[in-house]
Structure 1
Amino acid sequence: MGGQQVTSLSGTKPRVGVVGLGAMGMGTATALLERGFEVTGCDVSEKARAGFEQAGGRTVSEPAELAATSDVVLLVVVNAGQVEEVLFGESGIVGGLKPGSLVIQCATVAPAVARDFAERLGQAGLEMLDAPISGGAAKARAGQLSVMASGSTQAFGLAEPILDGMAATVYRLGDAPGVGSSMKLINQLLAGVHIAVAAEAMAMAIRMGLPAEVVYEVITHSAGNSWMFENRVPHILKGDYTPLSAVDIFVKDLNIVHDTGRELAMPTPVAASALQQFTAAKAAGFGKEDDSAVIKVYERLAGITLPAAANDSGEELA
């Protein structure tokens, strides 16, 4: 089914709860706050909560606390286990949301898992939009994300004003949960492969003695470029592996690709190779670093020297 953009609705803005104030969740919550929504943020991190409070938002430490004051809850957490806990755990939101409320599920999960969550929420009288997001922290903060969404007409109707406030493009992919997560799976397959191969290309270039900055300049103006090459290689050039999207994320997401391929009897050899590279980076201790740190596998295997981080004066750090 081809995607179509969802247009905005006029009317009273619903009260929004955002669970997960990481890079994407914080940006989305702040963008919605700036667009006039009443937003309550929730995160286990006191630092994350303080950051959103400084932006003018209200925060709570437990998901159940925001249920009673939210008409729509966005889940911008890491994985299916966290979604399960937020929805149905001891301090979950399901018991506190009024019937007919909406959950917008933005985490990357397997399509079958998304369908299961939607079914269980439906049994509790709640709507769910399967709505994985893409675009990175900067676009989240600008309210310019891409959303791959599927769900009932009722779910889309409830979600529309929020989607209009957080996204540049919303693809309406179907009337049943699971389709949005299927599309995100394809996006993550490509994203993970592109990051892994960008790291491989840069490692080979460095091994051959090519100046890394020159390689970046040439490739970003040539046919070999990709969005991920252009976005991630600057992290490598700066020696800055501050996690905007961690290695661990792609270990998880490419494992979802692998498992889904196995269920479909569909070989995914290129994605499997990328998964092994991210797994190697995780095993080497780089799981919490930016996903561009997958290049550090080559630093150990091929003996290359990667660009070092610089301090505020521009001097390289040892």
Structure 2
Amino acid sequence: MTTVGLIGLGAMGSGMAASLRRAGHSVQVFDVRREVAAAFAKEGGTAHDSLASLGAACDVIVSVVVNAAQTEAVLFGDGSTPGCAASMKPGSVFVMCSTVDPNWSVALEERLEAMGLRYVDAPISGGAAKAASGQMTMMTAGKPEAYALAEPFLNAMAAKVYKLGDSAGAGSKVKIINQLLAGVHIAAAAEAMALGLREGVDPAALYEVITNSAGNSWMFENRMAHVLAADYTPLSAVDIFVKDLGIVLDMARASKFPLPLSSTAHQMFMQASTAGFAKEDDSAVIKIFPGIELPKSATQL
């Protein structure tokens, strides 16, 4: 039996682990919040107290952490706590689900292969609800021998698993392009709603019309619902798009490719972050617009 482990039981990772369990797999988990891992294991599975323990127990490890720096710490330790790579069995697979610089992903594959480990570059998209229902999207790239072990678990976690190349990098490039569109769409949605508020349009009516008209986008429909509810609980925080659009711009800058809309959207998220909204939901980018009164929650009325 091939064993699977998952690191990072956040908004996406908890749903992915639940999807693996629902598919009949015995899931090994680790989270820095030990009580979260223990709560997951009560419903089925095994919680590990250390990354080294998880690494030794699993043939396939799925990492669902925020960025490249956290992925490095998960694999190689943080200077005080060992990571999982040193204890992983030869031939085991590390599946990396974070949004990272594609060149970093390529280098990570080489580093792991030198240790006798396999790698799948596998960024994810779809949000927490789709992760929980096993309906998210995975943008993957990896060698056939890595897929051979990892594929049953990828299919358990995602409705669509796109194979974009036989070595690392392609998955991360496609995810970065997806993040370009996602960030620009959120910024544009916020700008449109802000203009409506400025002009005295009823925001609920505006939302209803736009979501049934040609100007709609998935991001407008999803994120402006947060604005109407005055709920800025961070499912995806402002600083995520400071990071992700920064990676978009870095990738384009390397080949001197112009991205004017991405640059503007990045500046909007940067402004929201420095204005104190860094940890709020990314829809809080609407708070940078002056002279508007945002909808209030029922408790604020």
Normalising by structure 2, report the TM-score: 0.96
Query: Does the CA-based 8 Å contact 1:132-1:180 persist in structure 2?
Result: yes
Aligned residues between the structures = 298
Task: Give SS of 2:142's match.
Answer: coil
Q: Which residue of 1 aligns with 2:187?
A: 196
Following the alignment from structure 1 to structure 2, what is the Cα–Cα distance between the partners of residues 232 and 41?
30
Structure 2 gaps of 5+ residues are none
Q: Aligned to 2:50, which of 50, 55, 62?
A: 62
Offset, 1:87: 0.8
Offset, 1:50: 4.1
Q: Which residue of 1 aligns with 2:239?
A: 248
Task: Indicate whether 1:75 and 2:63 are aligned.
Answer: yes
Q: Which residue of 1 aligns with 2:266?
A: 275
Query: Does the CA-based 8 Å contact 1:73-1:104 persist in structure 2?
Result: yes
Task: Give SS of 2:165's match.
Answer: coil
- 1:97-246 → structure 2 map (5 Å cutoff): 97-246=88-237
Percent identity over the alignment?
A: 54
Offset, 1:54: 4.2
Per-residue CA deviation, residues 194-220 of structure 1 (Å, 9 max, x unaligned), is 001100100010000000001111001
Q: Which residue of 2 aligns with 1:20?
A: 8
Following the alignment from structure 1 to structure 2, what is the Cα–Cα distance between the partners of residues 54 and 206?
47
Moved over 4 A (4+): none
Offset, 1:46: 3.6
> What amino acid does structure 2 have at the position aligned with 1:57?
G
Q: Aligned to 1:305, which of 269, 293, 299?
A: 293
Offset, 1:267: 1.0
Offset, 1:47: 4.6
Task: Give SS of 2:90's match.
Answer: coil
Query: Does the CA-based 8 Å contact 2:26-2:44 persist in structure 1?
Result: no
Q: Aligned to 2:253, which of 248, 262, 283?
A: 262
Query: Does the CA-based 8 Å contact 1:30-1:55 persist in structure 2?
Result: no
Following the alignment from structure 1 to structure 2, what is the Cα–Cα distance between the partners of residues 53 and 43?
11
Query: Does the CA-based 8 Å contact 1:102-1:128 persist in structure 2?
Result: yes
Following the alignment from structure 2 to structure 1, what is the Cα–Cα distance between the partners of residues 297 and 7?
33
Q: Which residue of 2 aligns with 1:35?
A: 23
> What amino acid does structure 2 have at the position aligned with 1:169?
K
Per-residue CA deviation, residues 11-47 of structure 1 (Å, 9 max, x unaligned), is x4x2111111110001001110111111121111245
Query: Does the CA-based 8 Å contact 1:79-1:107 persist in structure 2?
Result: yes
Per-residue CA deviation, residues 150-179 of structure 1 (Å, 9 max, x unaligned), is 111111111110011001011111111000
Q: Aligned to 2:284, which of 284, 290, 293?
A: 293
Structure 1 gaps of 5+ residues are 1-11, 311-315
Query: Does the CA-based 8 Å contact 1:196-1:294 persist in structure 2?
Result: yes
Task: Give SS of 1:147's match.
Answer: strand
